[in-house]
Each structure stands twice: as C-alpha cells, then as structure tokens.
C-alpha cells in the first residue's frame, strides 16, 4: 500500500487531481485508484475495503465515517466533468521536453447487460458477438506510458476517434490540424477500398479449389455439392477448370497465372502508409514506431486483466462510466511504472538465481511486509518495523524507494 502511494506521488497523480478537483473529491479518487489496483473490484467493493482498512484511510488522510458508496459515484462523475483540465495537466507533466512520437489505438469492452448509456452494438474486438459494448481510445508515449484515455459509444468507428486526440494534443494551428485529420480520413477510406479489393482477389484465389469436394450455399439456402473434374496439379496450373454440379450443369473458373504469382509474391508482407516527411523519419523508423503499437495493446491487456479490471463496468450513467475509464488509466500508469522499474531486476534475478518469479510474486512479497502497533501499558504506542529479507530489500532498491522512509 505504501509503495503504491509512493509511486502515485512520484507520478504526480496527487498533484494532478488536487490542483483541479475539490479536496474531498481528490482524496476519494486517490483512494479509488489504489483500491482498484488492490481489490480489482467495483466501487462498492472498494468502498467496503476502505471501511474495513482503517490503516489505509490513515495513510490517505481519509475519514470514511458517515460516507456511503454514493459519495464515490459522485466523485467519479466530477472526475469526468474535469477530465479535459486533468488530462491537460497530466500531459504537461509527462509529455517530455523533446519532440516525441505518440501512439494511439482503440479497443472495445463488452457489457453483459444493455442499460449503460454508452452501450451499443459495434465491431467487437473481444469476440463477444451479440453483446453491446463501449469503445476505449488510448494515447500513450512511444514507450507505452498513458497520456489520455477516452470512452466512446460502442458503435463509434475507429477513424472518428482520432480527431479528438489530435485537437487535444497537437500544438499546431487549427488549419493544419484539420488538414491532418482529413489526410487520415482519406487514408482510412483508401484502406477500406483496398480491403474490399483484396477480398475480391481472394475470392479468385484458385487454392480453394484444391479440395475435391466443397459446399456452396445459394440464395435459396439449398446446399449443393460440387465436384472438380480436374485438380490444379492435374491441369498443370492451366487457364480453365471445368466444374460439374450434381445436376450435370457445368461452368468454367478462370485462373489467371500472373495474378496468382503476384499475390503469392506479396504473402507475409504489409504496407505502412505515412504522411511524415522523409527528412523527419526514415522508413525503418516508421516501421519501428508502427511495431511499437504493441505497447498500446499491452496496455489494453493490463486494463482488461485482473490487475485493473476495466470490465465489468458496474455503472449505467455516462458520466460515471467515463470517470471509471479515466480512473483505470491512472491505475494503469502506476502498474506501468512498477513494471518499468521491476522487470529489468526480475529478468536478472531469475537468471542468476535459477528461478521463475513473476511480477505478481514480487508484489506479493511486498504485501507480506507488515508493520505492527505495540501498546505498552495504557498510553504508550510503539510502531514495530519488520526486518526485510534479502529479496524485499532488492525489490525496494529496484523501485528506487527507501523503505525506512515508508515505514516511519
């Protein structure tokens, strides 16, 4: 708990919230961020945890007496109400002084019900057909640190979400931003056209006729079995192939050798379109930054995992839902910072010690560190500090944290 609060302060999450939100809301949001990481549960779960964990509230300076879970919901809505100001300050703290590359991607998160105000049917990236969803767009630095997150209605196309990110963060003139947005939209339309064209070409691919038997469903949903008189090998990759149906009707399939060879030569290859001038980025740099999108995908995996649990979303109203998504971004920033500090140590430790510890093992080791209050007589209270084992000392060193300052 103390480690999480230390990293929260190091990342200036507390400053970001305290400079924008009322003091009480800032306290509750910080408590929910830490509670989200520790419990991974709903706001009701976090509320009950705070009521039980008096030591946690003492560290936070939070008094839970007389509060209800509705107080958490209200703070969450006000968090979204100030989201633009909060993200502007957050971006200023973490954008860096040098020119940087920013990564953006979008994912979806499905609902079991359909009462959420952002819920809608759309392209579901979780493979959950027939379920409504919301879409989440995440902007990060080139190393995957989160800068901005936004929730969209579940049927929002990917391309529509980009312009908002550009308008929020590009320090360009309005005309240039609009031109850049239009370029992206044109590229998106061309990409869609290419996808349709490629799909049509795939339909002409003769490889699917290698099977001697196949099935085809016509508009009347009657199923017919087709038999190929001659396979490709028997024809020697010839031009025409006669196909006979069960009712003795025949038709010809045209095979274009040049088109087949052209398509075959492109197998396993992809094309990246960019409007970045050559003098700013080489082709290798463009390709490298495109591959860096996997870091945003890694962020989505963490957001959806038990570490943070973006879903299930236990909210119905739009404001609380958007506030919940922003809260999860701050929780992920703490997890990301811990990963960045601990993974190099973890890799080296596993190699030298011949073990296979994970990040969860290290956090569990920190969780085992307990401080005890010792009461002597009727009034004297003494705080007993535990003796750290070698692994715990190494973890604190990797985190660049002085344990003596945490355990005062």
The three-class DSSP label of residue 204 is: coil
Q: Tell me whether residue 262 is in a domain.
A: no
Q: What is the spatial distance between Cα 232 and Cα 258, in angstroms, rounded to a whole number?
A: 15
- Does 324 lie in the same domain as 297? no
- Does 70 lie in the same domain as 6? yes
- Does 221 lie in the same domain as 194? no
pLDDT of residue 333: 95
- Count of domains for the chain: 4
**The dihedral sign for the CA sequence 47, 49, 52, 53:** negative
pLDDT of residue 128: 83
Nearest to 122 by CA among 108, 136, 112, 111: 108
- Does 216 lie in the same domain as 365? no
- Does 381 lie in the same domain as 282? no
- Does 209 lie in the same domain as 113? no
- Does 70 lie in the same domain as 195? no
Nearest to 321 by CA among 105, 132, 91, 144: 132
Contact 371, 407 (CB under 8 A): yes
Q: Tell me whether residue 64 is in a domain.
A: yes
- Does 291 lie in the same domain as 237? no
- Does 110 lie in the same domain as 136? yes
Domain that holds residue 376: 352-406
Q: Tell me whether residue 392 is in a domain.
A: yes
Q: Tell me whether residue 263 is in a domain.
A: no
pLDDT of residue 129: 83
Q: Tell me whether residue 242 is in a domain.
A: yes
Q: Tell me whether residue 167 is in a domain.
A: yes
Q: Tell me whether residue 260 is in a domain.
A: no
C-alpha distances in angstroms, 220 versus 216, 223, 244? 11, 9, 20
Neighbours of 366 (CB within 10 A): 19
Strand ordering across the sheet containing 133-141: 102-110, 133-141, 146-153
- Does 101 lie in the same domain as 192? yes
pLDDT tens, per residue, the chain with 408 residues = 788 999 999 999 999 999 999 999 999 999 999 999 998 899 999 999 999 988 888 888 899 999 999 999 999 999 999 999 999 999 989 877 666 788 899 999 999 888 899 999 998 888 888 899 999 999 998 889 999 999 999 998 887 787 666 666 655 544 444 555 556 556 555 554 444 444 434 444 444 433 333 443 343 333 333 333 344 444 444 444 444 445 555 556 666 778 778 877 877 777 888 888 888 888 888 888 888 889 999 999 999 988 888 989 999 999 999 999 999 999 999 999 999 999 999 999 999 999 999 888 998 888 888 777 777 777 666 767 788 999 999 999 999 988 887 766
User: Can you give the pTM of this predicted structure?
Assistant: 0.75
Q: Tell me whether residue 265 is in a domain.
A: no
- Does 182 lie in the same domain as 251? no
pLDDT of residue 328: 96
Q: What is the pLDDT of residues 242-276, one digit of tens each?
A: 444 455 555 566 667 787 788 778 777 778 888 88
- Does 246 lie in the same domain as 148? no
pLDDT of residue 82: 96
Q: What is the pLDDT of residues 356-408, one digit of tens each?
A: 998 889 988 888 887 777 777 776 667 677 889 999 999 999 999 888 877 66
- Degrees (nearest 5) of the Cα angle 366, 371, 377? 170
Q: What is the spatial distance between Cα 29 and Cα 17, in angstroms, rounded to a whole number?
A: 8
Q: What is the pLDDT of residues 176-205, one digit of tens each?
A: 445 555 565 565 555 544 444 444 344 444
């Amino acid at each position: 708990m103390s480690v999480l609060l230390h990293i929260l302060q190091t990342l200036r999450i507390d400053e970001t919230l305290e400079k924008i939100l009322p003091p009480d809301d800032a306290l509750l949001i910080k408590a929910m961020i830490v509670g989200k990481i520790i419990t991974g549960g709903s706001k009701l779960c976090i509320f009950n945890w705070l009521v039980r964990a008096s030591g946690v509230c003492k560290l936070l300076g939070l008094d839970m007496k007389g509060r209800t879970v509705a107080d958490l919901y209200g703070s969450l809505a006000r968090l979204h109400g100030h989201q633009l100001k909060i993200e502007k300050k957050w971006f200023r703290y973490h954008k860096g002084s040098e020119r940087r590359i920013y990564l953006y991607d979008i994912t979806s998160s499905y609902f079991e019900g359909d009462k959420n105000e952002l819920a809608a049917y759309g392209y579901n990236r979780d493979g959950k057909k027939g379920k409504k969803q919301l879409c989440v767009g995440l902007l990060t630095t080139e190393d995957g640190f989160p800068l901005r997150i936004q929730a969209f209605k579940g049927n929002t196309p990917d391309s529509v979400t980009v312009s908002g990110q550009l308008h929020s963060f590009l320090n360009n003139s309005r005309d240039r931003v609009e031109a850049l947005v239009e370029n992206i939209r044109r590229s998106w339309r061309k990409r869609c056209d290419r996808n349709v064209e490629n799909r049509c070409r795939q339909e002409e691919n003769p490889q699917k006729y290698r099977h001697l038997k196949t099935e085809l469903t016509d508009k009347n949903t009657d199923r017919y079995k087709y038999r190929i008189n001659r396979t490709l090998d028997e024809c020697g990759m010839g031009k025409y192939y006669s196909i006979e149906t069960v009712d003795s009707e025949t038709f010809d399939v045209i095979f274009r050798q040049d088109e087949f060879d052209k398509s075959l030569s492109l197998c396993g290859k992809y094309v990246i379109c960019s409007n970045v001038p050559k003098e700013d980025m080489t082709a290798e740099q463009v390709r490298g930054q495109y591959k860096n999108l996997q870091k945003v995908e890694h962020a989505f995996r963490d957001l959806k995992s038990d570490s943070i649990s973006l879903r299930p979303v236990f909210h119905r109203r739009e404001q609380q839902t958007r506030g919940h998504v922003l809260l999860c971004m701050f929780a992920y920033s703490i997890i990301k910072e811990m990963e960045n500090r601990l993974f190099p140590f973890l890799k080296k430790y596993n190699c030298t010690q011949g073990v296979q510890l994970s990040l969860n093992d290290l956090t569990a080791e920190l969780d085992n560190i307990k401080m005890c209050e010792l009461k002597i007589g009727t009034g004297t209270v003494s705080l007993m500090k535990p003796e750290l084992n070698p692994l715990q000392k190494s973890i604190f060193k990797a985190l660049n944290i002085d344990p003596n300052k945490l355990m005062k």
